[in-house]
Structures are given as C-alpha cells and as structure tokens.
Amino acid sequence: MLEAVARAAEIPPRVVRVHGALAMVGRVFLLATIPLSLIWLPVGRIPGAGNLAAGDVAQIGLWVVTLAALFLHGRFDVGLRAPMVAVLGLALASLAGIAGQFSGVRDAAGLEFMLLMKRFVLSAIVPLSAVLFGSPAMCRWTRALTALMVGVLVALTLDPSLQAWLPRPGDYDADIFASEQRATGSVTNPNDLAYAAAALFILHAAFSPRRPGAVDRALLLAVLSGSLTCIVSSGSRSGVIGVTGAVVFLVLTSAVPPTKKMGLLLAASIAAGAGLTYSTVLQQRITSAYSEGVREKNISSRLDGQWLAMRVAVVHPFGVGYGGISRATSRESSILEYGTSDSVYLDTLLGAGFLGLFCLLALFWTGWRHIGRSRPPGDLRAHLLKSGVVAFLLFGTATVVPISVFLSPLFFNIVGAAAYPDEHDR
C-alpha cells in the first residue's frame, strides 16, 4: 500500500514511511506542549540560560521533527504564513541579542538570544507543525487535553495545598500572592492563571462538534465553569479585560444568530456578576481601579514605567536587550527596576528596539491572517481562535504575555489550531 501511495504522490516509499513516523512523533510533541506549558517539570540546566524543562524538550523536539518532515518529505507547499511566524520569532530573538551586545547596557548577546528562544521562539514552530501534522484526531485530543488541564487548574485553585506536589523554581515565593488571596493554580502568577484558563477554554470551544450531543454540551459547560473559576480566583483585572474583549469581538464579527449572541452577552453578564459576588479580591481590585482610576497604585506604577520605557527607547532605538531593561535607567523608583514595564509591546520596544516591535506586531498580524486563511469564510472555529488572539493582544498591555514560558505555547496553539482538519475536510 505504501508503494501505491508513493507512486501516486511521486515520492519514494522510504520517504513516505519516514514522514508517517515523523508525523506521529510530531503530533505527540504538539499535544505535549499544552500540559507541559502549564506544569513546570525541570529536567536539567542550560549553561547561562537557566533550567531546561520538559516543555522545552517537547518544543525542541517539535522543531527537529518539523524540519525533518519538511526536507525528507519535500513539503515546501505549506504557504508562507505558518513558516513566517517562526521566522519572525527568530528575528525578534536575534534583534534582542544584537541589542544586548551593542547597546552598552548589557553584553551577553548569546544569553539574550537563548532566553528569548526559551520564552517565546521555541513554541513559534507550533503553527507550521500544525500544518504538517494536523489531523482530525488532533481536534479530539486537543479538546480532551484542554478539558483535563482546566480540571487540573481548578483543583489547584480550589485546594492550594495540592501545589506542594508541584516542582517550583528556586526563587518562587508562594506567600506573595497567597497573602493577597489570589490563586496561581499550577503556574506561578495569578495573571498567568487567568490567561491560561481563558486560552484553554477557547481551544476547547473551537473543537466542539458542530452538532454537539448532551455529553459534549455538559463538557463544554464544565470547562467554561472551570475556566471562569480560575479567572475569578486569580483576581486578574487584565484577565477580565482580555476575556471581555474576546466576547465583544465574537459578538461583533461572528455569523451566529442574534439570539445566540444575546445569550452569550447574558451569560457573560451573569458570570461577571457571580464572579464579583464570589471573589472578594476581584471585587476589591476592580472597585479600586474604578474609584481611583490612573491613581491606583498598580496602574500608576505601570503607566509611569511604560512612559519611562518609551523615553528610554528614543535614546536606545535599537534596544537594550530584555535583560538590560532594569539597567536602562538609573531611576530606581520605576517599575523598570524589576526588569519589565509590564507591557509586551513596551518591553519589546525597549528590549529589541523599534525593529523588534515591528517584528512582534508583524508576527501577531501573520498569525491572525493564518487563522483566517486556514478556515472557510465565516467559520466559527476561526472566529473563536481569533477571539483568543484578541484576548492575548489585550493581556499584553498589562504583562509580557505571550512572551512568557507558560503562555507562549498556548498562544501559538491557538494560532496553529486553525490548520487542523475536521472529519469532513478530508
């Protein structure tokens, strides 16, 4: 049978077999990026770049099998958008490395490159891998894994004592957020918990059957309830803003009937009301932001640091390297002393310069276009996945997401998931 397939495709039988094996391995690595992005499992250390986690190994393996599949199978007809996502990520890492070397603020180009590779670029191969290894089975497995991981996050949120079983980085301080009564789940930051829960639900909903049965509907409701529990328990205001933006995008752009849109808005309103009633910490944080406005402590410190980052970027238009942000100014009272402006856009502007920011925005745009071109016009899955991109774009205004170890794989899975074929697409 392999020989017949090979003759039909004009590919040697040996290559067909190799590609089949690589596809299976690639699918395993693709699926592994979801749980291993949220459960940190150290397996060693990279000299000068810190810990090597199981998620890093899966993503490195994904790069290897994807490149092998491209060259062994001769698959160069994959289009430009999915490969360009990876290329733009590599360009961003290179620009950060160059900035670290020549800005005079930091002199470790290799370290800059490796750190950004670990945090962001390794997972940028996911969209191209999804194009090569996508199958209807991947839809079902992704749906199952996202439901499982939401369950894990909920368990660790409702019973924080379970976190004692999780390996943690040496500098992790569990008391920082516990004193604020903010949940962190399996990750190390409440905001990341909210973003991860939102991303998992979007991925799950995107693969719901077109004609769901009672079990499918019950599972979707359970995943939605679990995700909302994590978002509310995290007390993340940026998480609420991102999710709100995703809902508004769906209502304004999707082709679903108006009655379902009204139902979605009603459900979102009920969830918001219940969340504010259930979570004292979320209620306090939103109330303080509403009453104090830009004078609120966290908001004012972010705005002050981001305004300072813009001024420093004018002095260093080619960037100072991400690791040089804390040393880019002598003003110790700024949030920049912690090495971030709490904005992915301004961190990139200051870390990799104006060219780096252009690469980041071009990557977002390329991913957006990839989702749109991978699905039929008006396809609900495309709208759901695009709503995930909208959420991440809003998350990034108050944090470095998706340039982070925990969230980068989920972001690129949202972009790549558009390439998975349905049963009727075969």
| 1-51 per-position pLDDT tens digit | 334 433 433 434 333 333 578 889 999 999 999 999 999 999 887 766 678
Is residue 329 predicted with pLDDT exceeding 60? yes
Stretch 277-300: mean pLDDT: 76
Chain mean pLDDT for the chain: 84
Is residue 369 predicted with pLDDT exceeding 90? yes
Nearest Cα to Cα of residue 206 among 64, 50, 15, 413: 413
Distance spanning both ends of the chain, measured CA to CA: 19
Is residue 372 predicted with pLDDT exceeding 70? yes
Q: Percent of the chain scored above 70 by pLDDT? A: 87
Q: Which of 62-66, 98-102, 406-410 is the least confident region?
A: 98-102
Is residue 276 predicted with pLDDT exceeding 60? yes
Stretch 296-324: mean pLDDT: 84
Distance CA 189, CA 209 (A): 33
Distance CA 192, CA 182 (A): 12
Is residue 143 predicted with pLDDT exceeding 70? yes
Computed from CA positions of residues 44, 31, 203, 413, in that sequence, does the dihedral angle turn out positive or negative? positive
Compare 265 and 345 and report the one with higher pLDDT. Answer: 345
Among 77-91, 164-178, 206-220, top mean pLDDT goes to 206-220
Tens of pLDDT, residue by residue over 206-252, are 999 888 899 999 999 999 999 999 999 999 999 999 999 999 999 88
Q: 190: Cβ–Cβ under 8 A, 6 or more apart, which residues?
A: 177, 182, 183, 184, 234, 235, 236
In the prediction, which pLDDT does 392 show?
Answer: 97
**Confidence grade of residue 296 (pLDDT, cut at 50, 70, 90):** confident
The two three-digit tokens of residue 236, written as one number:
């993340």
Stretch 299-326: mean pLDDT: 85
Distance CA 280, CA 258 (A): 34
Return the H-helix or E-strand segment holding 52: strand 50-53
Stretch 161-182: mean pLDDT: 77
In the prediction, which pLDDT does 103 show?
Answer: 67
In the prediction, which pLDDT does 20 show?
Answer: 75
Q: Percent of the chain scored above 90 by pLDDT? A: 46
In the prediction, which pLDDT does 74 show?
Answer: 61
In the prediction, which pLDDT does 158 show?
Answer: 93
**Confidence grade of residue 352 (pLDDT, cut at 50, 70, 90):** very high
